[in-house]
Amino acid sequence: MVTIKEVQTKSDLKDFVKFPFSLYKGSPYWVPPIIKDEMESFDKTKNPVFKSAEATFFLAYKDNKIVGRVAAIINRLEVEEQGLKKMRFGWFDFVDDLEVSKTLLDKVKEIGQQHQLEYMEGPVGFSNLDKVGVLTEGFDHIGTMVTWYNHPYYQSHFEHHGFTKEKEYRESKFLASNADPKLFEKANLLIKKRYGLKELNFDKSADIMPWVDKMFDLFNETYAKLSSFVKITDIQKEYFKKKYISFINPEYIKFVVDAEDNLVAFAIVMPSFSEALQKANGKLFPLGIFHLLSARKNSKDAIFYLIGIHPNYQNKGVTSIIFNEYYHTFKKRGVVNCIRTPELEDNLAIQQMWKHFDPKVIKRRRTYVKDL
């Protein structure tokens, strides 16, 4: 018999965060989070996302052993401002037992019905900067710190329980050497001259900070028309600024501005921390922090996290400026592989942007939906 327990104490929350460590023990592809950071992201007193969203966390038990977990999420900006009567769920992990997955999903369904919502979709996070999607292809590729990994049986559980595919995502990889400068060097100069644009590069994180709010505003504007987009609020901007921006290599953040210094494009790339996080195994100390700092300095894999271009400048070749800057940065850093985080399959604009680099799709993931 499967029983469900709501997470209410710090000890319960730690059990929630640590469950995947046993579920994926020994996997060469799963990338563990830092336990302390994961717990803080679920702390309603520390993560500002809870000012516009609510979440309830559950653990499933069988024979007095934890066998699954799920977070049931309601994003009020989505429900009240956008009119999407959606019950979100994420951080959904379980052993290969249909009773376990059904019991957890039924709990999410129950909460959605209590709030008069119309459908449930997952796995998704609180917002568009969170992890998304269940992996359906590419189980033999190492994960990243910004994606979920899961066992192959997850897909069959969703389909057995009557869920259908909602959104499909791709993750691609290409060699940095595929970025032939002939593809963008000339265009870079032409576009800058035509539109009066210039690039901004950084050596210090402190120099980036005055631009970060503008970057998030541009992020909101760039992706506003995509399905399921939820804007980043002002208080979330401050949270992400303090938590993440200072840890990213400053030379991996690129901005493009116009003649009046208005931000028209940005890109954020991160060195891959996957192997470092595996070595850290959830702990920063005593050695985890050194593995992460080493990866920050020496990783030969670059993860393309976010790219945003103002709607007025889309399809005008502005990416040639960004690619030109990264070409020189990657050459200096000795970067070998470029990896793209999940992108919606129907986002044709982003696919066109990368086509000259001969990307290979290495993973697919999707979200699943079911009426309430």
All structural domains of the chain with their residue ranges: 2-169, 175-365
Alpha carbon of residue 82 to chain centroid: 22
Among 140, 173, 202, CA closest to 336: 173
Tokens read off for 354:
């990368």
Q: From 3.40.50.720, 3.40.50.300, 3.10.20.30, 3.40.630.30, which CATH number describes the 2-169 domain?
A: 3.40.630.30
Tokens read off for 3:
């029983």
Burial code of 335-372, b = ≥16 C-beta within 10 A, e = fewer?
Answer: bebbbbbbbbeeeeeeeebbeebebeebbbbbbbbbeb
**Domains 2-169 and 175-365 are alike in CATH topology:** yes
Let me know the angle formed at the C-alpha of 235 by 310 and 312, rounded to the nearest 5 degrees: 5
- Please name the fold of domain 175-365: Aminopeptidase (3.40.630)
Give Cα separations from 339 to 144, 182, 306, 364 (angstroms): 9, 21, 12, 13
User: Using one digit for the tens of pLDDT, what is the confidence trace for 230-259?
Assistant: 888 888 888 888 878 888 999 999 999 999
Q: Which stretches in the chain have pLDDT values below 70?
A: 227-228
Q: How far apart are CA 80 and CA 253, in angstroms?
A: 34
Name the maximum alpha-carbon separation found in the chain.
69
Q: Return the pLDDT at 352.
A: 80
Residue spans of beta strands (DSSP E) within the chain: 2-6, 53-62, 65-75, 86-94, 119-122, 134-137, 164-175, 198-200, 253-257, 263-271, 301-309, 337-340, 343-344, 360-371
Global pTM value: 0.94
Alpha carbon of residue 222 to chain centroid: 16
Q: Return the pLDDT at 311.
A: 92
Are the CB atoms for 59 and 66 separated by under 8 Å? Answer: yes
Q: Return the pLDDT at 13.
A: 98
Q: Return the pLDDT at 228.
A: 65
